[in-house]
Amino acid sequence: MAKQGLFSRLIIGDENLPDFNPSQLPKTRWGLWWDTFKNRLGALCKVNLLLLLFLIPVIAVLLFSYFQETAYGMAIPANANFGIGYYPRDDINSLYASMKLNVTLTQYILLVPCFMIFGVGLAGATYVVRRISWGEGVHVGANFGHGIKENWKYFVGASALLFGMMFCFFGLDMFSSSQVLITIIQVVGVIQFVFVLIMFMYFCTQCVTYNLRFTDLVKNSFLFAMALFPQNLFF
Protein backbone atom coordinates (compact mmCIF):
# COMPACT_ATOMS: atom_id res chain seq x y z
CA MET A 1 0.00 0.00 0.00
CA ALA A 2 1.41 3.39 -1.01
CA LYS A 3 2.33 5.82 1.74
CA GLN A 4 -0.11 8.68 2.16
CA GLY A 5 1.37 11.98 0.99
CA LEU A 6 1.38 15.33 2.77
CA PHE A 7 -1.30 16.97 0.63
CA SER A 8 -3.50 13.92 0.90
CA ARG A 9 -3.33 14.11 4.70
CA LEU A 10 -4.13 17.84 4.62
CA ILE A 11 -7.15 17.41 2.34
CA ILE A 12 -8.55 14.03 3.37
CA GLY A 13 -7.05 13.54 6.80
CA ASP A 14 -4.91 10.84 8.33
CA GLU A 15 -6.11 7.46 7.01
CA ASN A 16 -4.84 5.72 10.15
CA LEU A 17 -7.26 7.50 12.45
CA PRO A 18 -9.88 5.19 14.00
CA ASP A 19 -13.51 5.46 12.95
CA PHE A 20 -15.71 7.84 14.88
CA ASN A 21 -17.44 6.36 17.89
CA PRO A 22 -20.38 8.11 19.61
CA SER A 23 -18.79 7.23 22.95
CA GLN A 24 -16.04 9.75 22.12
CA LEU A 25 -18.48 12.66 22.35
CA PRO A 26 -18.00 14.87 25.44
CA LYS A 27 -20.34 14.00 28.30
CA THR A 28 -19.85 17.04 30.54
CA ARG A 29 -19.81 20.79 29.98
CA TRP A 30 -16.11 20.93 30.82
CA GLY A 31 -15.57 18.15 28.29
CA LEU A 32 -17.54 20.08 25.69
CA TRP A 33 -15.46 23.20 26.38
CA TRP A 34 -12.19 21.31 25.95
CA ASP A 35 -13.43 19.46 22.85
CA THR A 36 -14.53 22.75 21.27
CA PHE A 37 -11.27 24.49 22.14
CA LYS A 38 -9.17 21.59 20.84
CA ASN A 39 -11.00 20.88 17.59
CA ARG A 40 -12.47 24.26 16.61
CA LEU A 41 -9.70 26.65 17.67
CA GLY A 42 -9.30 28.01 14.15
CA ALA A 43 -12.98 28.92 13.88
CA LEU A 44 -12.91 30.55 17.33
CA CYS A 45 -9.91 32.67 16.31
CA LYS A 46 -11.73 33.82 13.17
CA VAL A 47 -14.79 34.77 15.24
CA ASN A 48 -12.67 36.78 17.66
CA LEU A 49 -10.90 38.60 14.82
CA LEU A 50 -14.25 39.54 13.27
CA LEU A 51 -15.52 40.72 16.65
CA LEU A 52 -12.39 42.78 17.14
CA LEU A 53 -13.30 44.81 14.05
CA PHE A 54 -16.51 45.93 15.75
CA LEU A 55 -14.56 46.86 18.88
CA ILE A 56 -12.30 49.33 17.03
CA PRO A 57 -14.64 52.34 17.60
CA VAL A 58 -14.61 51.71 21.38
CA ILE A 59 -10.82 51.47 21.44
CA ALA A 60 -10.53 54.62 19.30
CA VAL A 61 -12.74 56.65 21.67
CA LEU A 62 -10.84 55.46 24.75
CA LEU A 63 -7.48 56.32 23.17
CA PHE A 64 -8.75 59.71 21.99
CA SER A 65 -10.02 60.54 25.50
CA TYR A 66 -6.75 59.45 27.08
CA PHE A 67 -4.63 61.55 24.74
CA GLN A 68 -6.94 64.54 25.13
CA GLU A 69 -6.83 64.37 28.92
CA THR A 70 -3.04 64.00 28.80
CA ALA A 71 -2.78 67.05 26.56
CA TYR A 72 -4.92 69.09 28.96
CA GLY A 73 -2.73 67.96 31.84
CA MET A 74 0.36 69.20 30.03
CA ALA A 75 -1.23 72.49 28.95
CA ILE A 76 -2.85 73.15 32.33
CA PRO A 77 -0.52 71.65 34.98
CA ALA A 78 -2.86 71.83 37.95
CA ASN A 79 -0.33 70.17 40.28
CA ALA A 80 2.70 72.12 39.06
CA ASN A 81 4.85 74.43 41.20
CA PHE A 82 3.66 77.81 39.93
CA GLY A 83 6.19 80.59 39.82
CA ILE A 84 8.86 78.21 38.49
CA GLY A 85 8.21 77.93 34.80
CA TYR A 86 4.41 78.35 34.92
CA TYR A 87 2.36 81.50 34.99
CA PRO A 88 0.28 82.04 38.16
CA ARG A 89 -3.48 81.36 37.91
CA ASP A 90 -5.91 81.44 40.82
CA ASP A 91 -8.52 79.34 39.02
CA ILE A 92 -6.14 76.73 37.60
CA ASN A 93 -7.64 73.79 39.51
CA SER A 94 -11.22 74.66 38.58
CA LEU A 95 -10.20 75.16 34.96
CA TYR A 96 -8.52 71.76 34.83
CA ALA A 97 -11.52 70.11 36.53
CA SER A 98 -13.88 71.72 34.02
CA MET A 99 -11.86 70.50 31.05
CA LYS A 100 -11.55 67.01 32.52
CA LEU A 101 -15.33 66.94 33.03
CA ASN A 102 -15.86 67.87 29.38
CA VAL A 103 -13.51 65.07 28.25
CA THR A 104 -15.29 62.51 30.44
CA LEU A 105 -18.77 63.52 29.33
CA THR A 106 -17.72 63.47 25.68
CA GLN A 107 -16.22 60.02 26.18
CA TYR A 108 -19.42 58.63 27.73
CA ILE A 109 -21.59 60.13 24.99
CA LEU A 110 -19.41 58.73 22.21
CA LEU A 111 -19.14 55.30 23.85
CA VAL A 112 -22.91 54.71 23.70
CA PRO A 113 -23.10 54.38 19.87
CA CYS A 114 -19.71 52.65 19.84
CA PHE A 115 -20.96 49.93 22.20
CA MET A 116 -24.09 49.63 20.06
CA ILE A 117 -21.82 48.91 17.08
CA PHE A 118 -19.97 46.36 19.21
CA GLY A 119 -23.34 44.78 20.04
CA VAL A 120 -23.96 44.22 16.32
CA GLY A 121 -20.72 42.25 16.07
CA LEU A 122 -21.47 40.38 19.27
CA ALA A 123 -24.77 39.18 17.80
CA GLY A 124 -22.89 37.46 14.98
CA ALA A 125 -20.11 36.11 17.20
CA THR A 126 -22.46 34.62 19.79
CA TYR A 127 -24.50 32.88 17.11
CA VAL A 128 -21.39 31.31 15.56
CA VAL A 129 -20.09 30.13 18.95
CA ARG A 130 -23.50 28.58 19.70
CA ARG A 131 -23.34 26.58 16.46
CA ILE A 132 -19.78 25.49 17.24
CA SER A 133 -20.70 24.33 20.76
CA TRP A 134 -23.69 22.40 19.40
CA GLY A 135 -21.49 20.58 16.90
CA GLU A 136 -23.24 22.09 13.89
CA GLY A 137 -21.56 22.89 10.61
CA VAL A 138 -20.02 26.36 10.63
CA HIS A 139 -19.01 28.75 7.89
CA VAL A 140 -17.73 31.62 10.00
CA GLY A 141 -18.39 34.48 7.57
CA ALA A 142 -21.86 33.37 6.48
CA ASN A 143 -23.02 32.39 9.97
CA PHE A 144 -21.60 35.59 11.45
CA GLY A 145 -23.69 37.60 9.00
CA HIS A 146 -26.78 35.45 9.68
CA GLY A 147 -26.43 35.99 13.42
CA ILE A 148 -26.27 39.75 12.91
CA LYS A 149 -29.31 39.68 10.63
CA GLU A 150 -31.40 37.67 13.10
CA ASN A 151 -30.42 39.25 16.43
CA TRP A 152 -28.85 42.70 15.91
CA LYS A 153 -31.84 44.66 17.24
CA TYR A 154 -31.82 42.86 20.60
CA PHE A 155 -28.06 43.13 20.95
CA VAL A 156 -27.99 46.83 20.06
CA GLY A 157 -30.74 47.60 22.56
CA ALA A 158 -29.11 45.52 25.28
CA SER A 159 -25.70 47.09 24.66
CA ALA A 160 -27.08 50.63 25.01
CA LEU A 161 -29.20 49.75 28.07
CA LEU A 162 -26.56 47.76 29.91
CA PHE A 163 -23.80 50.26 29.09
CA GLY A 164 -25.90 52.98 30.70
CA MET A 165 -26.54 50.79 33.76
CA MET A 166 -22.87 49.86 34.11
CA PHE A 167 -21.47 53.38 33.95
CA CYS A 168 -24.19 55.56 35.50
CA PHE A 169 -22.57 55.37 38.94
CA PHE A 170 -19.06 56.05 37.66
CA GLY A 171 -20.20 59.35 36.18
CA LEU A 172 -21.71 60.56 39.45
CA ASP A 173 -18.34 60.91 41.18
CA MET A 174 -17.59 63.90 38.93
CA PHE A 175 -20.33 65.93 40.63
CA SER A 176 -19.24 65.35 44.23
CA SER A 177 -16.47 66.93 46.24
CA SER A 178 -16.76 64.57 49.22
CA GLN A 179 -14.09 61.86 49.09
CA VAL A 180 -16.21 59.52 51.22
CA LEU A 181 -19.19 59.89 48.88
CA ILE A 182 -16.97 59.41 45.82
CA THR A 183 -15.58 56.17 47.32
CA ILE A 184 -19.09 54.87 48.07
CA ILE A 185 -20.24 55.67 44.54
CA GLN A 186 -17.23 53.94 43.03
CA VAL A 187 -17.72 50.80 45.15
CA VAL A 188 -21.41 50.61 44.22
CA GLY A 189 -20.45 51.22 40.61
CA VAL A 190 -18.01 48.29 40.58
CA ILE A 191 -20.60 45.95 42.13
CA GLN A 192 -23.20 47.05 39.62
CA PHE A 193 -20.70 46.71 36.76
CA VAL A 194 -19.96 43.07 37.67
CA PHE A 195 -23.64 42.17 38.13
CA VAL A 196 -24.72 43.75 34.84
CA LEU A 197 -21.84 42.05 33.03
CA ILE A 198 -23.12 38.70 34.33
CA MET A 199 -26.63 39.59 33.15
CA PHE A 200 -25.29 40.47 29.72
CA MET A 201 -23.58 37.08 29.46
CA TYR A 202 -26.90 35.28 30.01
CA PHE A 203 -28.71 37.70 27.70
CA CYS A 204 -26.35 36.92 24.80
CA THR A 205 -26.61 33.15 25.12
CA GLN A 206 -30.41 33.17 25.44
CA CYS A 207 -30.90 35.59 22.56
CA VAL A 208 -29.27 33.29 19.98
CA THR A 209 -30.91 30.15 21.40
CA TYR A 210 -34.54 31.00 22.19
CA ASN A 211 -37.22 33.11 20.53
CA LEU A 212 -38.13 35.40 23.44
CA ARG A 213 -39.21 39.00 23.84
CA PHE A 214 -36.65 41.58 24.89
CA THR A 215 -38.25 42.06 28.32
CA ASP A 216 -38.28 38.30 28.92
CA LEU A 217 -34.60 38.07 28.02
CA VAL A 218 -33.73 40.82 30.51
CA LYS A 219 -35.91 39.26 33.23
CA ASN A 220 -34.44 35.78 32.76
CA SER A 221 -30.91 37.20 32.74
CA PHE A 222 -31.58 38.97 36.03
CA LEU A 223 -32.95 35.80 37.63
CA PHE A 224 -29.99 33.69 36.45
CA ALA A 225 -27.53 36.32 37.66
CA MET A 226 -29.15 36.40 41.11
CA ALA A 227 -29.78 32.67 41.55
CA LEU A 228 -26.28 31.55 40.50
CA PHE A 229 -24.30 34.54 41.74
CA PRO A 230 -21.35 32.68 43.43
CA GLN A 231 -20.92 30.41 40.40
CA ASN A 232 -21.19 33.41 38.08
CA LEU A 233 -18.45 35.25 39.98
CA PHE A 234 -16.15 32.26 39.51
CA PHE A 235 -16.64 32.32 35.73
Sequence-separated (6 or more) residues with CB below 8 Å from residue 14: 4
pTM: 0.74
Q: With cut-offs at 50, 70 and 90, classify the pLDDT of residue 100.
A: confident
Q: How confident is the model at residue 179 (pLDDT cuts 50, 70, 90)?
A: confident
Instruction: Provide the pLDDT for residue 38.
Output: 81
CA distance 3 to 112: 59
| Interval 1-17 mean pLDDT | 58
As a whole-number percent, the residues of the chain with pLDDT over 70 amount to: 74
pLDDT for residue 72 is more than 80: no
80-86 mean pLDDT: 51
pLDDT-wise least confident of 37-51, 53-67, 68-82, 178-192: 68-82
Across 147-157, average pLDDT: 92
pLDDT at 56: 95
Alpha helix positions (H), the chain: 6-11, 29-39, 41-75, 92-133, 140-172, 179-207, 214-227, 229-234
92 confidence band (pLDDT: 50, 70, 90): low
